[in-house]
A and B are shown apart, each in its own frame.
Chain A
């Protein structure tokens, strides 16, 4: 009897959990779609900017710019780690953080320890637990990173890089390849990778440039640094929601499985109980007869 009551209670608890995880899955799906939409909406800007950079560097020939070279090789590098603010997203944070720690160790062995800039509460909590010094923590970024929020971060990093306080800036984030595939990735934000000027066109368009190509590139390169950082944040946001979606789907499925097992156990216990009672009654009747 007591056993049955316990089973009913547990089943109810699991049913509640399933309700919650299913809701979270639905919310994550909605957020994922929103994030995906935002990422798609920012594609035209990236495409046009890249086009413009390629176009101009074709005209300018060999491009040399302070953002393309290393001003102070012995200065420390900076490592930006993009983790999430919230948990319940499967292996998302641990994957990013594992990659970050590996990179950190590798860089520390080769030269001065990199500066650690952490985004997201989960990342900050992890490094605090590990007792690693963080140069900065940013815990206030929401699910939908806005360009205005990312721009000051990029501006500060560029200023410090140009001043020779940093020799490189690297970003660890979850790269979004598709809904089914995300991989932690490290990419170098600064110095910028040299611009590929692309194949020369058959009929190049002669642009009127105001001001000249050099001055335009001076503006374009920082803009492309900003947009690359922004894209990294966007990728991280999509990946997070996607990971949460998958994790919550798995949790819902597991809950369903568990409910099925518990129901079976309960039914069996109930049947056993009935059989026992019947046996009791029949035994009693036989004894009297």
Chain B
């Protein structure tokens, strides 16, 4: 029954195809909040934000960090085009802590630098929250 409702998830970066596997459910960070997708969802193109993609495979729930890009649901395939995708194993905890500290230390002088700081913070926090997860 689970196999009947599965669809294909592809995560593609400029450097390689990070992931291509059958899944039953995907939650990804859209630009305005998390969005969940099941099989047979209506065709969709959405802008991605920064955060964590959660997907359910036959072997359990897995996670992936993505930073920006696009999602495209097309019939039986959900394709996430992103410029950066990292699996939890690929995240270096020390580097994330450094990134977080650097983001906190950013000076906010105007709206733009505030947005940049928020983005950097979100990036670091999302990566930190991913540690130890499958």
Chain A residues near B (Cβ < 8 Å): 38, 41-42, 44-46, 48-49, 52, 55-56, 146-148, 151, 205-211, 215-216, 219-220, 223, 226-227, 230
Kindly state the separation between the CA atoms of A131 and B43 in the bound complex, as whole angstroms: 56
Question: Which among A55, A211, A219, A227 is the interface contact of B14 at CB below 8 angstroms?
Answer: A227
Question: Which among B14, B30, B43 is the interface contact of A207 at CB below 8 angstroms?
Answer: B43
Query: Which residues of chain B are within 8 angstroms of A49 by Cβ–Cβ distance?
Result: 70, 81
Task: Indicate whether B45 reaches chain A with its CB closer than 8 angstroms.
Answer: yes
Given A48-B72, A48-B81, A211-B31, answer yes or no on A55-B13 (Cβ-Cβ < 8 Å): no
Interface of B is mostly: strand
Interface of A is mostly: helix
Given A42-B15, A215-B47, answer yes or no on A52-B70 (Cβ-Cβ < 8 Å): yes
Kindly state the separation between the CA atoms of A210 and B33 in the bound complex, as whole angstroms: 11
> Which residues of chain B (31-61) have a CB below 8 Å from chain A?
31-32, 35, 42-47
User: By the criterion CB–CB under 8 Å, are A210 and B47 in contact?
Assistant: yes
Query: Which residues of chain A are within 8 angstroms of B14 by Cβ–Cβ distance?
Result: 42, 45-46, 147, 226-227, 230
CB of B49, distance to nearest CB on chain A (Å):
11
Given A52-B70, A219-B70, A226-B83, answer yes or no on A41-B15 (Cβ-Cβ < 8 Å): yes
Task: Indicate whether B115 reaches chain A with its CB closer than 8 angstroms.
Answer: no
When C-beta atoms are compared, the residue in chain A nearest to B44 turns out to be A208
When C-beta atoms are compared, the residue in chain A nearest to B71 turns out to be A210
CB of A162, distance to nearest CB on chain B (Å):
14
Kindly state the separation between the CA atoms of A211 and B46 in the bound complex, as whole angstroms: 7
CB of B113, distance to nearest CB on chain A (Å):
15
CB of B40, distance to nearest CB on chain A (Å):
14
CB of A143, distance to nearest CB on chain B (Å):
14
Query: Which residues of chain B are within 8 angstroms of A210 by Cβ–Cβ distance?
Result: 30-32, 35, 44-47
User: By the criterion CB–CB under 8 Å, are A208 and B47 in contact?
Assistant: no
Query: Which residues of chain B are within 8 angstroms of A216 by Cβ–Cβ distance?
Result: 45, 47, 70
Question: Which among B12, B68, B74 is the interface contact of A44 at CB below 8 angstroms?
Answer: B12
Kindly state the separation between the CA atoms of A206 and B46 in the bound complex, as whole angstroms: 13
One digit per residue, 1 when the CB lies within 8 angstroms of any chain A CB and 0 when it does not, for chain B 7-42 equals: 000101111110000000000001110010000001
Given A205-B74, A216-B47, answer yes or no on A48-B16 (Cβ-Cβ < 8 Å): no
Query: Which residues of chain B are within 8 angstroms of A42 by Cβ–Cβ distance?
Result: 14-16
- Can you list 8 A-B pairs with a CB-CB distance of less than 8 A? A147-B15, A147-B83, A208-B42, A210-B30, A210-B44, A210-B46, A211-B47, A219-B47
Query: Which residues of chain A are within 8 angstroms of B72 by Cβ–Cβ distance?
Result: 48, 52, 207
User: By the criterion CB–CB under 8 Å, are A55 and B45 in contact?
Assistant: yes
Kindly state the separation between the CA atoms of A56 and B43 in the bound complex, as whole angstroms: 13
Query: Which residues of chain A are within 8 angstroms of B32 by Cβ–Cβ distance?
Result: 210-211
Kindly state the separation between the CA atoms of A210 and B31 in the bound complex, as whole angstroms: 8
Q: A42-B16, A45-B14, A211-B31 are in contact. List 16 more A-B contacts (CB 8 A).
A: A44-B17, A45-B12, A45-B15, A45-B81, A52-B72, A52-B81, A55-B45, A147-B13, A147-B84, A148-B84, A151-B83, A210-B32, A211-B47, A216-B45, A220-B70, A223-B69
Kindly state the separation between the CA atoms of A204 and B43 in the bound complex, as whole angstroms: 11
Task: Indicate whether B126 reaches chain A with its CB closer than 8 angstroms.
Answer: no
User: By the criterion CB–CB under 8 Å, are A52 and B45 in contact?
Assistant: yes
Given A45-B12, A52-B72, answer yes or no on A205-B43 (Cβ-Cβ < 8 Å): yes
Shortest Cβ-Cβ A-B pairs, 4 listed: A41-B16, A210-B46, A147-B14, A208-B44
User: By the criterion CB–CB under 8 Å, are A208 and B43 in contact?
Assistant: yes
CB of B74, distance to nearest CB on chain A (Å):
7
Query: Which residues of chain A are within 8 angstroms of B17 by Cβ–Cβ distance?
Result: 41, 44
